[in-house]
A = this chain, B = another copy of it.
Amino acid sequence: MYIRFTNARILSMTDGEDIYEGELRVKDNKIAYVGEKCESDEKFDRVIDCQGNVLMPGFKNAHTHSGMTAMRSYADDLPLQEWLNEKIFPMEAKMTGEDCYILSKLAVLEYLTSGITAVFDMYLAPYDIARCAKDTGMKFVQVSGINKFGPSIEELEERFLKINDGNPLSSFKLGFHAEYTCDLPLLEKIAALAHKYKQPLFAHNSETEREVKECIDRYKKTPTELMDSLGMFEYGGGGYHCVHFSDHDIEIFKEKGLYAVTNPGSNTKLASGIAPIQKFLDNGISVAIGTDGPSSNNCLDMFREMFLVTGLAKLTTKDASAVDGLKVLKMATVNGAHAMGLNDADVLAKDKEADIIMIDLHQPNMQPLNNIAKNIVYSGSKTNVKMTMVHGRILYEDGKYNIGADPEELYAKADEIIKRIG
């Protein structure tokens, strides 16, 4: 397929907030041209007049649990540990691989409405999730959520080798659920595996005060200090949430070049706290943004997350200029891609992967056009996502999906699942 987008505003994310009028061409799964308007006598399979709308890199949802769509609004208004132990774990125990496949597909629909072109997904049944990626066309970077209840370290290694089969839509990173769901021997085995393959490691880290306190009680170390002491960060990686970080934790993240993936919607709804984003930036730590799962958030909406990242930073620093909109846009696109190892899906440039969204400016919340980039962060919403293209395929356009599955059928199947396992 060769697609030409004309009459666009290009927010390439290669050069800050710079937006220019131009065009973009996608050949198969890559960007063949992006720049000023220029004549062409090539044959295109489709020419899309963008009508002055914005083309920009798709959002990267750098932490989620897609299959948890079943539990949306199932157990709200509860603190994290109670919610997890009493409500979520018992349901998950009854979930099959096929359930996970269906529920992840349901999540894909929602990601697309929010302009998300890739997800960093930690959940059960990774082979079924890989199948979901390939069947829907969505880009899934999975990360292991191994913990002391399963799977074994051998299974983890097998998943790592098998799922990284070269399909650009489906890859797998080493990781584990969290310190508090693993014991020391398991953590040591995970560290050894990361060393064996020279791989980065990711895990939930310091999401709640209780988690940090209990880790210090157990090991006299914060979760970050413990992981570092086990050599888990020799090949990079990062943490999800990173809410309750000490100055020493921040130093470790800085020194090792780790990614702090922030999840403000979930941290807010579960009353977990506010991550120190301004401090991360002051220390040169790369921040990426994730929605977390739809059971804790409860939606998969990068616009909500972007506003919360800047808004909560402004509140905690009492400084309206903190973490401005443009920095947030970079976190939601470029930094997310890099954290997930998608270095070819970060910006709009020639030969980059065609993970592209079109932002509709012909909507009242985007008018007038005083500052388009800030409009996207401060007043943007899902209504502004006119198109979502993943790896060169348009999966969502003008409210219609193209993922090889009927939304109503997915809703009905999700309903059956929740009736069986709820």
Contacts of A314 in B (CB 8 A): 268-271
Chain A, residues 347-390, CB within 8 Å of chain B (1/0): the string is: 00000000000000011110111111011001111110000000
Is A274 in contact with B315, judged by CB distance below 8 angstroms?
Answer: yes
**Residues in A136-176 with C-beta less than 8 Å from chain B:** none
Pick the contact of A77 from B273, B320, B381 — CB < 8 Å? B320
Chain A, residues 72-99, CB within 8 Å of chain B (1/0): the string is: 1110111110010000000000000000
Pick the contact of A365 from B78, B110, B325, B408 — CB < 8 Å? B110
Dominant SS among interface residues on chain A: helix
Cα A322 to Cα B79 with chains together (Å) = 10
Closest to A80 in B: B320
Chain A, residues 18-47, CB within 8 Å of chain B (1/0): the string is: 000000000000000000000000000000
On whether A271 and B318 interact (CB within 8 A), knowing A298-B375, A299-B379, the answer reads yes
Chain A residues close to B by CB (< 8 Å): 69-74, 76-80, 83, 106-107, 109-110, 113, 265, 267-271, 273-274, 294, 297-301, 303-304, 307-308, 310-312, 314-315, 317-322, 324-325, 362-365, 367-372, 374-375, 378-383, 407-408, 410-411, 414-415, 417-418, 422
On whether A76 and B325 interact (CB within 8 A), knowing A269-B378, A418-B370, the answer reads yes
For the complex formed, measure the closest distance between the CB of A80 and the CB atoms of chain B, giving whole angstroms. Answer: 8
Cα A270 to Cα B311 with chains together (Å) = 8
Most buried by B among A308, A381, A415: A381
Is B364 in contact with A312, judged by CB distance below 8 angstroms?
Answer: no
Closest to A267 in B: B315
Most buried by B among A72, A314, A317: A72
Cα A74 to Cα B367 with chains together (Å) = 11
Cα A410 to Cα B368 with chains together (Å) = 10
On whether A76 and B383 interact (CB within 8 A), knowing A268-B314, A320-B269, A365-B299, the answer reads no
